[in-house]
Structure 1
Amino acid sequence: MTDAPKIEFPCERYPVKVIGDAGDGFTELVVEIVERHAPGFDSSTLVVRDSRNGRYLSVQVQITATGVEQLQAIHQDLRATGRVHMVL
């Protein structure tokens, strides 16, 4: 077994991918939470994709990650919405 690569912080262009239930306001919800923890992230990196059947939505952004605590807080707040199934 190999060790996972270590991330040095701050880490620019750190990808955050969120998969959740499609519906009104999902993208805005994800952006609001990410903005709370990574103010001023580059919104031009926002990529939104529907699942094949339209039931789920994937929202991906790139942030400047400042540390593990920030990433954990983003994950926790996204999961607390009840609409997010996975954060990668």
Structure 2
Amino acid sequence: MSDESLLTFPCEIDIKVIGRRTTSLRATVLGIVRAHCGVVEDSRVRERHSSEGNYLSMSVTVLAETREQIDAVYRELTASDQVLMAL
């Protein structure tokens, strides 16, 4: 695996997450993202419910300082049992 990245840091990046629509999914996702990226304004969070309301997709825009920071966010998100997919 190459250490080269197509991104130039720092940069803004959208972290996309899909999970079952539960009362705690939003808090879990934002808790993980904030732990690695700091404050996330509400205006930087977008949500969409699935057509039947069973799933929630979230997109959180953050200022990424390093690839390692983003890798850590994705590792923790995908380790969560509430998150079905993180892109």
Report the counterpart of residue 18 of structure 2 in structure 1: 19
Structure 1 outlier segments of 4+, above 4 Å: none
Question: For the residues of structure 2 that align with 1:71 and 1:85, how far apart are their CA atoms?
Answer: 18
Report the counterpart of residue 79 of structure 1 in structure 2: 78
Report the counterpart of residue 7 of structure 1 in structure 2: 7
Instruction: Please tell me whether the aligned partners of residues 42 and 62 of structure 1 are also in contact (alpha carbons under 8 angstroms).
Output: no
Q: How does 1:43-82 map to 2 (within 5 A)?
A: 43-82=42-81
Instruction: Please tell me whether the aligned partners of residues 41 and 64 of structure 1 are also in contact (alpha carbons under 8 angstroms).
Output: no
Aligned residues: 83
Question: For the residues of structure 1 that align with 2:52 and 2:83, how far apart are their CA atoms?
Answer: 17
State percent identity of aligned pairs: 35
Question: For the residues of structure 1 that align with 2:77 and 2:7, how far apart are their CA atoms?
Answer: 22
| 1:7 maps to amino acid | L
Question: For the residues of structure 2 that align with 1:11 and 1:55, how far apart are their CA atoms?
Answer: 33
Q: CA deviation at 1:40?
A: 1.7
Aligned-residue RMSD, C-alpha: 1.4
Question: For the residues of structure 2 that align with 1:53 and 1:76, how far apart are their CA atoms?
Answer: 29
| 1:83 maps to amino acid | Q
Question: For the residues of structure 2 that align with 1:63 and 1:43, how far apart are their CA atoms?
Answer: 11
